[in-house]
Amino acid sequence: MSVASGQALHAALLRLLRRPRSSRRCFQRIHALLLTSGLTVDSFAAADLAALLPACLPPPAAFATINHIHRIRRYRFPLLFNSLISGYARSDRPNLGIAVYKTMLADGIFPDHYTFPVVLKSCIEFSGVAEAKQIHGASVKLCFASDLFVQNALVHVYAICREYDDARVLFDEMPLRDVVSWTGLISAYVKGGLYREALQLFSSMDVARNAATFVSILVACGRFGDLNGGQMVHALVLKHECGLNLVAGNALLDMYLKCESLAEAKQIFDELPERDIVSWTSFISGLVQCKQPEQAIDMFASMRASGVEPDNVTLSSVLSACASLGSLCSGRWVHEYIHRNGIKWDVHLGTALVDMYAKCGCLDIALNTFSEMPFKNVSSWNAVIGALAMHGHGREALGYFEQMVGIGMNPNEVTFLAILSACSHSGLVEEGRCSFNLMTESYNLPPWIEHYGCMVDLLGRTGLLEEAYKLIQTMPMRPDVHIWGALLGACKAHGNQDLLQEILNHLLKLEPHETGVYVLLSNAYAARGRWADVTRVRKLMRQKGIKKETGISIVEVDGEAHKFVVGELQNLQEDILVASYTLDKLLQLDDL
DNA sequence: TTAGGGTTAG
């Protein structure tokens, strides 16, 4: 075979292997060609192919292929194994990367300085710190511990596994650090939620930052809602010579959205030189988080119109938009789209479906969807418990909680919000008290202000006003307008005038710019017929330029959504065909 | 060969 035809064949094989659904039979033919063509003589061409094997072959076949090439060519060096490990580290089965590493050692092939970074990447994705420590030991034994790439990978893996002290010692003792050393540690801090540490490291960098560094720190700013910090990093990015690549542009976009700065996000989005599925999905999910579900659906339609098809991540956010709108027909459309287009199922998508069906009134379908989920995480359990809570099935919600604990799934703070809300909606006072205590006593979860809010609501609804007031006085944080509002509502319902006056005094001491305070005050005065005070509060609001945001409820009936303005049902009922509009948007583009 | 972007529950 000539060199030219060999190269052409190599290119053709790579193209075939890169196809997402290369069949096994197809691969066998490729493999036969590969061996007979002599291409495996070129070890780098073979290494390229080895890295692609995990994506298209089951592990035994991939492994057999490498062994076959090794036997035929009598290789005794680790190049092909490194490639295979790297392929697995990037696949959804990174544990196989570690298996390849172990087999390689057992076969008497020594790892080199390329092996350690790739096998450590497999540890990050799969097995954790115990395996990483063993690999660290092996790297020292084989004299690769002073290699910069190996050190960078070790610092990163220890920090990702939350072994921050070990990571920091290794980092501090490095004789030479490059931008990857710094960014590797910063990104691990960000993933672990150590925002301050990440920021501190970012400011003390003594090498030039690059796009990856900016991306990691932008993620941190977004996650912590630090708009000022994000804007400062934005300015640094603009000053930096590397320019704005797609990943950095997307990170900026997402930062602005997470900080709920829609105008700046829109500007970034408009100015992006190109947009990929991440740009669109960031925008869609950002709009949902900013409580703009209708705009999110519009954006989804624009995305499809531009020729970008959604994946499982996009559709999770779209389902969340449908849930916020209460739009069952749109949610069903997404469900069918997933089936029709063979979208990859994952726990996010399943959880979003459970939530969507529950919020659109279909509790039975939500429960069925949940039971059919092959893998459930704590969020999935929270979604199903929340579903039962919002439908008033308190006892069943508690039953699911027991099941969850029974299988060894640890509840988190959100689980207890769902449980307390279930107890509140079903009047289960004693169960609520027990759950509230369980949080701290058994799970070491200090209650958030929202948990106190649920408890005040639960106690207040059943007339236990004094107990609710005492609980507020024991709170470790300052009670906000929602806490006082919950007690105020209970006082009005149970006619306790003395406590009501006391609450009004507390409300007046709260943050003067808090809109809710004025609304509560005004409503409370109105309920007591003190119209002069009502006028005084309203005037004060006008003077301060405070405008009450209108609460809205959407209820879908026979595919038509009706929007209600909260608290003013008789006067301001508006029928807006939100769901039909939404569905039309989706259907228009269905045949694209 | 090592570091970087979007997802669910509240």
Domain boundaries, chain A: 448-549
| Nucleotide at minimal C1' distance from the A383 CA | B9
Q: Is the CB of A261 under 7 A from strand B?
A: no
Backbone angles phi, psi at A271, to 5 degrees: -90, -5
Q: Provide CB contacts within 8 A for A259, sequence distance 6+.
A: A221, A222, A225, A226, A227, A230
Instruction: Give the model confidence (pLDDT) of A63-122 as tens digits.
Output: 777 777 767 666 778 888 899 999 888 887 888 889 899 988 988 899 999 999 999 998
Higher-pLDDT residue of A494, A354: A354
Lowest model confidence (mean pLDDT) among A255-264, A272-281, A475-484, A569-578? A569-578
pLDDT at A350: 97
Token digits of residue A514? 């808090």
Does the pLDDT of residue A530 top 60, yes or no? yes
Helix A115-125 and helix A148-160, axial crossing angle in degrees, nearest 10: 10
| Gap from A580 CA to B8 C1', Å | 25
Q: Are A472 and A487 in contact (CB under 8 A)?
A: yes
Does the pLDDT of residue A26 top 50, yes or no? yes
Does the pLDDT of residue A21 top 50, yes or no? no
| Nucleotide at minimal C1' distance from the A308 CA | B6
Residue A498 pLDDT class (50, 70, 90 cuts): confident
Q: What is the H or E stretch that residue A59 is in?
A: helix A59-73
Q: Which residues 476-515 in chain A have a CB closer than 7 A to strand B?
A: none
Q: What is the DSSP letter of A523?
A: H
Closest CA to A314 of A285, A292, A355: A285
Higher-pLDDT residue of A19, A410: A410
Q: Is the CB of A125 under 7 A from strand B?
A: no
| Gap from A381 CA to B9 C1', Å | 8
Mean local confidence (pLDDT), A31-42: 61
Q: Which residues 43-72 in chain A have a CB closer than 7 A to strand B?
A: none
pLDDT at A13: 60
Does the pLDDT of residue A2 top 60, yes or no? no
Q: Which residues 162-191 in chain A have a CB closer than 7 A to strand B?
A: 178-181, 183-184, 187, 191
| Gap from A149 CA to B2 C1', Å | 5
Q: Which residues 209-248 in chain A have a CB closer than 7 A to strand B?
A: 210-213, 215-216, 219, 222, 245-248
| Gap from A565 CA to B9 C1', Å | 26
pLDDT at A577: 36
| Gap from A254 CA to B5 C1', Å | 8
Nucleotides of B under 7 A from a protein CB: 1-10
Lowest model confidence (mean pLDDT) among A275-279, A338-342, A404-408, A491-495? A491-495
pLDDT at A339: 96
| Gap from A160 CA to B4 C1', Å | 15
Residue A132 pLDDT class (50, 70, 90 cuts): very high
Q: Is the CB of A304 under 7 A from strand B?
A: no
Q: Provide CB contacts within 8 A for A40, sequence distance 6+.
A: A34, A46, A69, A72, A73
| Nucleotide at minimal C1' distance from the A386 CA | B9
Report percent pLDDT > 70 for chain A. 77
Q: Is the CB of A83 under 7 A from strand B?
A: no
The topology (CATH level 3) of A448-549 is 1.25.40
Residue A57 pLDDT class (50, 70, 90 cuts): low
Closest CA to A131 of A109, A163, A108, A107: A163
Does the pLDDT of residue A187 top 50, yes or no? yes
Helical H segments across A290-362, by residue range = 293-305, 312-325, 328-340, 347-359
Q: Is the CB of A325 under 7 A from strand B?
A: no
In this structure, is the dihedral angle defined by the CA atoms of residues A327, A333, A339 and A345, taken in order, positive or negative? negative
Instruction: Give the model confidence (pLDDT) of A167-181 as tens digits.
Output: 999 999 999 999 999
Q: Provide CB contacts within 8 A for A338, sequence distance 6+.
A: A312, A315, A345, A349
Instruction: Give the model confidence (pLDDT) of A369-420 as tens digits.
Output: 999 999 999 999 999 999 999 999 999 999 999 999 999 999 999 999 999 9
Q: Which residues 196-215 in chain A have a CB closer than 7 A to strand B?
A: 210-213, 215
Does the pLDDT of residue A144 top 70, yes or no? yes
